[in-house]
Amino acid sequence: MRDLTTVLACMISAGTPILYALIGDLIGERAGIISLSVEGSMLCGACIGFGTAVATHNMLFAVLSGALAGGLIGFCQAFLTIDRKSNMMASGFVLMFFAMGLTAFYGRSLLNISIGGANSAGLGKIAIPVLSKIPVLGTALFTQDILTYISYLLPLIVYFFIYKTKYGLILCSVGERPEVTLAYGYNPRLIQYGAVIMAGVLAGIGGVQMSVIYTMGWANNMVNGRGFIATALVILCSWKPQRAYLAAYLFGLAQALQIFLQVHSVPVSMYITLMLPYLLTLVALGFISSSKKPTMPEKLKIVI
């Protein structure tokens, strides 16, 4: 039972940064732009957010600054792909390398700074009164930090936004037929800008969660491909926000199992367990792509 709690808790904490980036990129892709730059947004968010958390000991400021930093990278991606019509894959990659260099340079003074554990305000874990008493799930799911709780709600919010509101429909129309959006009286260019910047903002918050709460430290290139994984997982959840839970936590579970199998000396090769997160994603992708109903936004079909 205790092992199950451990695995679940590790699954949640490993999956949360990815969940943020995934939902962000999903919004962007619904508007027809793939943001590989979410990797860069996460890095910038992690670096700036950690710096702010150390300086101010205030979670709100940390999240805001991380979101701003991620959003700026998102803005660069939006400008390059929407106004300059550059290849969205290429610009995403370039922005990732740009963010890597930038954070390595500005993050060097943060490398040897300690955040002071859970002592600082707003960084600790909060147990939700009744729910945290549920046997196995309580400690794993409902004794978490504030950003994780927000991430529980995020896919739901985006689900209602996309499927139940007028603005969600408009957002999707940009990804399908921008000329229809235009005829309807909205500016597709502006909406795309908003969606791509939003992708950066959410990825930036994911980065803050990763550096400030999950790993409690800044290290060079700490995101280590999680942004790219998130971009791939958007396809796995067929651009449907409600499936984001499945995709992100599948990856989190794989990471948790990767260590779990080693700790409990399960006779599986270490290299298989190291592959596990990618293996599971690949298998799941294989299943999804064979499903009959294609849901890919029309504009993306040109790119992919």
Site residues for another protein per CB under 8 A: 2-3, 5-7, 9-10, 13-14, 17, 104, 108-109, 111-112, 114-115, 117-118, 210, 214-217, 219-222, 224, 226, 255-256, 258-260, 262-265, 267, 269-271, 274, 302
Which is closer to another protein, CB of 156 or CB of 266? 266
Nearest CA to 102 among 55, 69, 64?
Answer: 69
Which is closer to another protein, CB of 214 or CB of 239? 214
Question: What gap in Å lies between CA 274 and CA 255, rounded to an integer?
Answer: 8
CB 262 to another protein: min, Å: 4
Nearest CA to 26 among 147, 208, 171, 165?
Answer: 171
Q: What type of residue sits at position 127?
A: A
Q: What type of residue sits at position 262?
A: Q
Question: What gap in Å lies between CA 277 and CA 200, rounded to an integer?
Answer: 24
Which is closer to another protein, CB of 116 or CB of 286? 116
Residue 109 is classified by DSSP as: G
CB 254 to another protein: min, Å: 11
CB 226 to another protein: min, Å: 7
Which is closer to another protein, CB of 10 or CB of 174? 10
DSSP per-residue letters across 135-154: HHHHHHHSEE-HHHHHHHHH
CB 110 to another protein: min, Å: 9
Which is closer to another protein, CB of 207 or CB of 241? 207
CB 97 to another protein: min, Å: 13
Beta-ladder partners of 143: 127
CB 149 to another protein: min, Å: 19
* Contact (CB, 8 A) for 237 and 243: yes
Q: What type of residue sits at position 151?
A: S
Q: Which two tokens stand for residue 168?
A: 């969600």
Which is closer to another protein, CB of 7 or CB of 280? 7
Dihedral pair phi/psi, residue 284, rounded to 5° = -65, -40
